[in-house]
Amino acid sequence: MDIVDLNEIIEEMDLLLRSESHRHAVSLRTELADELPKITADRVQLQQVFMNLMLNGIESMRENGGELIIKSQLREDGQLQISVTDNGVGLPPEKADQIFNAFFTTKPHGTGLGLAITRSIVESHGGRVWAAANSERGTTFHFTLPIRTAVPA
């Protein structure tokens, strides 16, 4: 665990996944809150969370292209909230409660582990993760993280 800047991690993952997104005609956009407080977290694990959510979004738009929006904000309850929004195929409503279960997948070649790992990492950091269907098209994944700046001994 280290003190990390969440916006910095988002920017790193944006750069890392830019060529993958362009390959599928998906544009990446960030909407990062100014002066977000730093938090105590495992940088590599949070990179994995972003990798999973961003690649899922890109993959959901691989047929028709689209836009992936990563947003950070400070909530009124003092938690950080991150949203990853795509305008891809969306979640089947009847499967929404299963998507975070290990080995559940809607992809032909998926392992069903990405979202289960994501949930495990977010919860181990004291946060929670959920998904919601967008009103028009696609899905938004949200997760929260508490603001803790003391590094555990």
The three-state DSSP-derived secondary structure of 88-108 is: CCCCCHHHCCCCCCCCCCCCC
66 Cβ contact list (under 8 Å, min separation 6): 25, 26, 27, 86, 87, 88, 138
User: Residue 29 forms beta bridges with which residues?
Assistant: 69
Strand 66-74 versus strand 39-41 pairing type: unpaired
Give the pLDDT of the chain (153 residues) as one tens digit per residue: 899 999 999 999 999 999 999 999 999 999 999 989 999 999 999 999 999 999 989 988 988 889 999 999 999 998 999 999 999 887 776 666 666 665 555 555 655 567 888 998 999 999 999 988 888 889 999 999 998 765 554
Nearest Cα neighbor of 106 from 116, 92, 93 is 92
Q: Does the structural domain 2-146 have CATH classification 3.30.300.180? A: no
Q: What are the residue boundaries of the structural domains of the chain, listed by start? A: 2-146
Q: List the strands of the sheet with 66-74, edge to edge.
A: 26-32, 66-74, 79-85, 139-146, 128-133
Q: Which pTM does this prediction carry?
A: 0.86
Contact criterion met (CB below 8 Å) for 67 and 87: yes
> H-helix or E-strand containing 6?
helix 6-23
Backbone dihedral region of 131: left (phi > 0), alpha (psi from -120 to 50 degrees) or beta?
beta
Sign of torsion over alpha carbons 3, 28, 78, 34: positive
pLDDT in the model for residue 62: 85
Instruction: Give the model confidence (pLDDT) of 120-138 as tens digits.
Output: 899 999 999 998 888 888 9
